C-alpha cells in the first residue's frame, strides 16, 4: 500500500519522475495534442510547465467555470449538476483517475453544446 494513493488510482499508477512526466506532456503538446482538465493550469504549474515553457500553439483546455461570486465551481459540483454523477464528498480524498474521467466528460458535454 502506498500512503496517499487511493485504491482507484493504484491500477493506473506507474511511477515516473516529474521530469519524465513533464517531457511526455511537452512531446504530446508539440505533436498537436490537447491537455484537458479541471483547473488544469494548477496541475501544469505544479509540474513546472508554465505557459512560457509550452510549445507554440499548445492547446490546454480547462473545463472549470466560476460561480456568480467569481469562485471556481468544484469538480464534484459540476459532476453532479452537469452530469448527474456523484463523486467524492466534500472533504474526502479524491481519485485522480475519476477526476480525469469526469473532466473529459465535462469537456465533451461543453463541446457538444458548442462551448469549445
Has residue 9 got a pLDDT over 70?
Answer: no
Roughly how many angstroms between the first and final C-alpha of the chain, as a whole number? Answer: 40
pLDDT of residue 84: 93
- Report residue 67 as a C-alpha cell: 460561480
Has residue 80 got a pLDDT over 70?
Answer: yes
Has residue 95 got a pLDDT over 90?
Answer: no
In the three-class reduction of DSSP (H, G, I as helix; E, B as strand; rest coil), residue 73 is classed as: coil
pLDDT of residue 90: 65
Q: What one-character DSSP code corresponds to residue 72?
A: B
Has residue 6 got a pLDDT over 60?
Answer: no
For residues 96-112, give the mean pLDDT: 89
pLDDT of residue 5: 46
Average pLDDT, the chain: 84
Contact 60, 34 (CB under 8 A): yes
Domains and CATH numbers, the chain: 7-114 (3.30.420.10)
Span 17-45, pLDDT tens digits:
788 888 889 999 999 999 999 999 988 99
How far is the C-alpha of 35 from the C-alpha of 104, rounded, in Å? 10
How far is the C-alpha of 103 from the C-alpha of 112, rounded, in Å? 14
Amino acid at each position: 500500500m502506498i500512503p496517499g494513493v487511493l485504491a482507484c488510482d493504484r491500477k493506473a499508477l506507474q511511477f515516473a519522475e516529474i521530469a519524465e512526466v513533464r517531457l511526455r506532456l511537452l512531446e504530446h503538446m508539440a505533436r498537436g495534442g490537447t491537455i484537458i482538465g479541471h483547473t488544469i493550469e494548477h496541475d501544469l504549474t505544479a509540474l513546472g510547465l508554465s505557459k512560457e515553457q509550452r510549445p507554440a500553439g499548445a492547446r490546454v483546455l480547462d473545463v472549470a467555470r466560476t460561480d456568480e461570486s467569481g469562485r471556481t465551481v468544484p469538480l464534484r459540483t459540476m459532476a453532479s449538476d452537469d452530469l448527474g454523477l456523484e463523486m467524492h464528498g466534500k472533504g474526502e480524498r479524491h481519485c485522480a483517475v475519476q477526476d480525469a474521467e469526469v473532466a473529459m466528460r465535462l469537456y465533451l458535454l461543453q463541446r457538444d453544446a458548442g462551448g469549445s
